[in-house]
């Protein structure tokens, strides 16, 4: 974690040195003003199930280095149903941004965090909302959650919530409609636990398949060779998060795929 922090710090210092050596010109000044305006935003981070704000620390450091104000707080992910968690976690993040006077709010979420944003926005609006990046979200429910729900030893760790993240009748993601905000999704394709029971055979990150991340209305989706548990610490993921928040699309060499 410290290595990630110092890498981010070094990038900032090199960027400041480069800017100090650049000749001033009207064109550059105008472009710089646009970039500075893009950075005048507050980003709310929402971690996944059985995690804490520490799991999103690398994302926090990267966004802070890019000039964003970041709100990264823990919430009791295993203790309440999705509707209550959404009110608690999303409202808390939005209020923190508003208290600091920001009129543009982004979200970056991991797994369950993305479902909380969708659940919250299905009931109310966030006028300041600009863009959202979801990392490994089970937007179509999760087959792996279905399997975990059958394990007697694990059910007490998140009573009721496992069923809400599955693909059955209680699935919350399947009850939510299309998104109507600027959404970019990063789906992992590194499944290091395919040998374990309950892990889907389809391409995915070991917890959520690529197809399960899809949601109608999403603006862009990018597949990267990362796993579900550690994608938040991957340099390529971090760079793509910042790029999407600034541009509304991911940076890619091949054309953007047709949205399903």
Structure tokens at 178: 């299309």
* Cα-based distances in Å from 130 to 120, 184, 237, 256: 15, 12, 20, 21
CB-based burial of residue 223 (10 Å sphere; 0-12 exposed, 13-18 middle, 19+ buried)? middle
Distance CA 116, CA 46 (A): 8
Give domain status of residue 210, yes or no: yes
Digitized pLDDT (tens) for each residue of the chain, 260 residues in all: 444 444 444 444 444 444 344 344 344 334 554 455 455 799 999 999 989 999 999 999 999 999 999 999 999 998 899 999 999 999 999 999 999 999 999 999 999 999 999 999 999 999 999 999 999 999 999 988 877 777 776 667 666 788 899 999 999 999 999 999 999 999 999 977 655 565 677 899 999 999 999 999 999 999 999 999 999 999 999 999 999 999 999 998 766 666 65
CB-based burial of residue 64 (10 Å sphere; 0-12 exposed, 13-18 middle, 19+ buried)? middle
Give domain status of residue 115, yes or no: yes
Task: With H, G, I as helix, E, B as strand and everything else as coil, classify residue 260.
Answer: coil
Q: What is the CATH number of the domain that holds 119?
A: 3.40.50.1820
User: What is the number of domains present in the chain?
Assistant: 1
Residue 31: what pLDDT? 53
Distance CA 129, CA 109 (A): 14
Containing structural domain, residue 196: 42-247
Instruction: Give alpha helix (H) positions in the chain.
Output: 2-21, 26-39, 57-65, 82-99, 112-121, 143-148, 161-164, 210-213, 235-247
Which helix (H) or strand (E) covers residue 131, if one does? strand 129-135
Query: Quick one: CA dihedral 137, 140, 143, 148, positive or negative?
Result: positive
* Cα-based distances in Å from 15 to 10, 19, 20, 25, 244: 8, 6, 9, 18, 20
Distance CA 130, CA 248 (A): 9
Give domain status of residue 15, yes or no: no
Residue 147: what pLDDT? 79
Give domain status of residue 53, yes or no: yes
Residue 37: what pLDDT? 43
Residue 28: what pLDDT? 39
Give domain status of residue 28, yes or no: no
Residue 119: what pLDDT? 98
Give domain status of residue 30, yes or no: no
Angle, helix 26-39 to helix 235-247, in steps of 10 degrees: 110
Residue 23: what pLDDT? 40
Give domain status of residue 74, yes or no: yes
145, 170 contact by CB (below 8 A): no
Give domain status of residue 211, yes or no: yes
Residue 40: what pLDDT? 77
The pTM for the full model equals 0.83
Contacts of 39 (CB under 8 A, 6+ apart): 66, 67, 68, 246
Angle, helix 2-21 to helix 57-65, in steps of 10 degrees: 10
């Amino acid at each position: 974690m410290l290595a990630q922090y110092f890498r981010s710090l070094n990038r900032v210092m090199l960027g400041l040195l480069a800017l100090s050596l650049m000749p001033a010109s009207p064109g550059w000044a105008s472009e710089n003003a646009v970039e500075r305006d893009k950075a005048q935003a507050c980003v709310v981070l929402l971690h996944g199930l059985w995690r804490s704000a520490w799991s999103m620390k690398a994302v926090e450091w990267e966004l802070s280095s890019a000039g964003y104000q970041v709100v990264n707080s823990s919430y009791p992910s295993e203790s309440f149903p999705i509707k209550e968690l959404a009110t608690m976690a999303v409202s808390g993040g939005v209020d923190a941004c508003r208290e600091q006077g920001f009129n543009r709010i982004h979200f970056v979420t991991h797994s369950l965090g993305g479902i909380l944003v969708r659940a919250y926005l299905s009931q109310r609006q966030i006028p300041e909302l600009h863009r959202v990046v979801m990392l490994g979200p089970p937007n179509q429910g999760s087959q792996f959650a279905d399997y975990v729900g059958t394990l007697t030893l694990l059910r007490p760790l998140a009573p009721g919530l496992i069923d809400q993240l599955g693909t059955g009748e209680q699935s919350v993601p399947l009850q939510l409609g299309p998104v109507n905000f600027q959404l970019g999704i990063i789906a992992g394709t590194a499944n290091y636990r395919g040998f374990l029971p309950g892990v889907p055979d389809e391409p995915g990150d070991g917890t959520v398949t690529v197809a399960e991340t899809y949601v109608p209305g999403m603006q862009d989706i990018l597949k990267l060779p990362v796993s579900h548990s550690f994608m938040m610490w991957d340099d390529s993921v971090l760079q793509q998060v910042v790029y999407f928040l600034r541009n509304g699309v991911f940076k890619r060499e091949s054309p953007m795929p047709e949205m399903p």
